[in-house]
Amino acid sequence: MDAAELRIFEAVVRLGGMGRAAEALHTVQSNVTARIRQLEDEVGTPLFRRHPRGVEPTAAGRRLLPYAQRVARLLEDARRAVADEGTPQGPLVIGALETSTALRLSRPLAAYATAYPNVELTLRTGTTCELVAQVLDDKLEGAFVCGPIAHGELLSTPVFREELALLTAPSVTSVDALTAGGDVRIVVLRAGCSYRQRLETILARRGVATPRVLEFGTVEALFGCVAANLGISLLPRALIGPVWEEGRVAVHRLPPADALVETVFVRRRDTYLSSALTAFLAMVCPAAALAQAAE
């Protein structure tokens, strides 16, 4: 068993077929098939079940997959470490909540792009659940998400603290009165949004166990629906400022236990901390850079 065989094995599992793996690896299908058979001979058990649509891993194949993925990550990190001479350059793919991007990251991102023009910086927004999954899958080098995050494969460092507030139409003067009837509609970002989960918890404590839900993909769409009295929402207070000052919405403060939330930066514990990412963290949140480097 060698790294090349494990790389081919991982590609076949990920793509679901020998032919698709061969195309992705820029080789011929017969080579992929031969290497998989050789690997199966070495481990002494079938690793795939064949079916008309391709292949799927056996139980033994599923047990082998995490090790193949770990080897692939280690080899990629080794390549990056050798090429990294200390000057930030090359691709850097970071994830962030849409709210964090709007409140905290727009200026540092612009400053970073100016300071390090040789870095190909990409920022992807999503919910906490989406971003954590992408970090675990090595699709992101790291991400700013809503904490706390407790996962054995991730390093998590607090970077910002936000105060959340309930957002309603201007005509709503009391949240208690709004929730008294038990029929509440919430206006939220898509499933996996941590603010949505917290809002549902807050309402559950007020006797609203299953609120009706309106989902939107952008914060601006959410503002518009709240202003039109289609429901209530929960967002960082600092983000609400402009629309509140315009009189489009009403803002209701919450007790600290409900209102305060930390944004944390997460990355895989077992991956290489590149010069590009180190410089990025130092510019955006120096304390996080020191903590991540120490780990």
Fold of 90-161+261-294: D-Maltodextrin-Binding Protein; domain 2 (3.40.190)
Residue type at 12 in one-letter notation: V
Please state which of the four CATH numbers 3.30.310.10, 1.10.730.10, 3.20.20.10, 3.40.190.10 is assigned to the domain occupying 164-255. 3.40.190.10
Ranges in the chain annotated CATH 1.10.10.10:
3-83
* Separation CA 204–CA 210 (nearest Å): 8
Residue identified by tokens 């190909």 is 120
Counting beta carbons within 10 angstroms of the beta carbon of residue 169, is it exposed (0 to 12), middle (13 to 18) or buried (19 or more)? middle
> What backbone phi and psi angles, to 5 degrees, belong to 83?
-80, -15
From first to last of its 295 residues, what are the pLDDT tens digits of the chain?
Answer: 788 889 899 999 999 999 999 999 999 999 999 999 999 999 999 999 988 888 999 999 999 998 898 888 788 778 777 777 888 998 999 999 988 888 888 888 999 999 999 999 999 998 899 999 999 988 999 999 998 898 989 999 888 888 999 988 888 888 787 777 667 889 887 766 788 888 888 888 888 877 888 888 778 888 888 888 888 999 888 887 766 667 788 888 889 989 999 999 999 988 888 899 999 988 887 666 556 655 5
Domain 3-83 top-level CATH class: mainly alpha
d(CA 272, CA 277): 10
What's this model's pTM, rounded to 2 decimal places? 0.75
Delimiting residues of CATH 3.40.190.10 domain(s) in the chain: 90-161+261-294, 164-255
